[in-house]
Amino acid sequence: MSDLYGIYLHIPYCRAKCRYCDFYSAPGARGVPQPYTDALLRELAKNDRRPDTLYFGGGTPALLTPQQVESLITAANPLPEAEITLEANPDVVTPERLTGFRAAGVTRISFGVQSASNAQLRRLGRTHTAEGASQALTWARKAGFAEICGDIMLALPEYSNAEFDATLALLQQGGCTHISAYLLKVEPGTAFYRNPPVGLPDGDAAADFYLYAVDQLEKAGYKQYEISNFCRPGHEGRHNLLYWDCCDYQGYGPAAHSCVGGVRKYWPNDVQAFIDGTAAEEVEGNCTAEDFLLMQLRLRKGLDLAEYARWGGRFTTAQKQFICQCVAHGYAEFDEKTLHLTPAGMVVQNSILTELM
C-alpha cells in the first residue's frame, strides 16, 4: 500500500464527438462554461489532502482557459514537484494558450495525435491534421514543456505498419517523452459501432500491429512499462501509475471515478446535476485482490506475489499449472515471486485474466 494520492478532474466538453469515442462528453464549441469550473472548485474545497498528481482528463481539457486551469490547480493545492497533466487536442491549442497553461502550473501536456494520416484522421472524426499536430508539438516545446505525451491508435481501418512508422516519426520529431499506443476497440454507443468502417483488421492482424508497435517503440527508445504505455527512461506517467498500483485517487466531474481507502465510487453521467450540486458520488464497491491482480498484470513489472498475498490473494495449484502453460507458450514469465506478461501475453491478457480470476 502507498500514501500517494492523485486527483482527476473530468472536463467533458468537446467541439466534436470522435466516431470511436464512448467516453461521456458534452458539446463545448464555446469552451468550458464557468459554472462547470465553479462546480469543480466547489468540490475541490471539500478536499483536505494534497495530491502528488493532478490530471485534467476529458473530453478536451484544453478548452479550459489558462485562468480556469490556474484556479483549479490553486484549489487542488498539489504538493511541490507534483505531476500536473492536461490532455489536449492539437487543433485547440495556440502558442499563447500553451504558454498560459505552463505558467498556470501544468507540467505535462498530452496530445491525442492518433495518426499521421490525414485520411485516417478524417475517418476517425478527428478535427486536426498531421501538420497541425506537428505544429502543436513544436509550440509545446517552445512553451517550456519538458514532458510531452502523444497518443497513437493501432489497427485502424485500412491500417499498415507504414502508417504506424509515420506516426511514431511525427511524435519523435515533436519531442515526445511518452507515447500511449493502443488498439482501436469498437464500443457500443459509438458511431463506429452503429456503422462499422470498412477495412478493420481482424484479431490476428490487430495483434500483429500491436507487437510491431511494441518492437518499434522499444527500438526508438520508448520502453514499455504498461500494456499501452511507453516512455523515455524516467518519464513514466505518475498519475496513471497510481491507478495501476491501486493507490488512492479522487475524481471530480460527471463520469469520474475514485478509489479512496479501498472503496470505489463514481459520479453519475450528468453535467447539469454536477453543476447544480444535486449529484453525489455513488459507491461502486470495495477494492479486492482481483482488482489488484487485474491492475498489476497491466504493468511490465508484473504482479508481486507477496504483495498479492497482503491483498488476500493466492494462486491455486490449478492456476499455477495454467501459469506454467503461459510461460511455455511465451505469454508470461514466472519465478514463483513475480508474474508478468510478455507483450504476446498482453495481447491475450483478457483470456489469461479469465483463468486467474
Whole-number pLDDT of residue 184:
86
Buried b / exposed e along 144-182 (16+ C-beta atoms within 10 A): ebebbbbbbbbbbbebeeebbeebbebbeebebbbbbbb
Give mean pLDDT, residues 174-199: 90
Number of domains in the chain: 2
Clarify whether residues 215 and 337 are in a common domain.
no
Total residues found in the chain within this entry: 357
Give mean pLDDT, residues 161-185: 96
Interstrand relation of 338-341 and 303-304 (parallel, antiparallel or unpaired): antiparallel
CATH of the domain at 106: 3.20.20.70
Clarify whether residues 234 and 325 are in a common domain.
no
Clarify whether residues 196 and 345 are in a common domain.
no
Q: Which pTM was predicted? A: 0.94
Strands (E), 262-328: 263-266, 282-286, 303-304
Clarify whether residues 20 and 153 are in a common domain.
yes
Clarify whether residues 52 and 138 are in a common domain.
yes
Whether 51 is covered by a domain: the verdict is: yes
Whole-number pLDDT of residue 1:
54
Whether 263 is covered by a domain: the verdict is: no
Give mean pLDDT, residues 273-293: 94
Average pLDDT score, the chain:
94
Whether 283 is covered by a domain: the verdict is: no
Query: Which triple of cell numbers denotes residue 228?
Result: 499501452
Whether 153 is covered by a domain: the verdict is: yes
Whole-number pLDDT of residue 352:
93
Clarify whether residues 216 and 91 are in a common domain.
yes
Whether 114 is covered by a domain: the verdict is: yes
Whether 257 is covered by a domain: the verdict is: no
Whether 163 is covered by a domain: the verdict is: yes
pLDDT tens digits for 25-52?
A: 777 778 899 999 999 999 999 999 999 9
Clarify whether residues 152 and 65 are in a common domain.
yes
Residue 71 structural domain: 5-243
Judge whether residue 248 has pLDDT over 90. Answer: yes
Judge whether residue 339 has pLDDT over 80. Answer: yes
Sign of CA dihedral 300, 305, 310, 313: positive
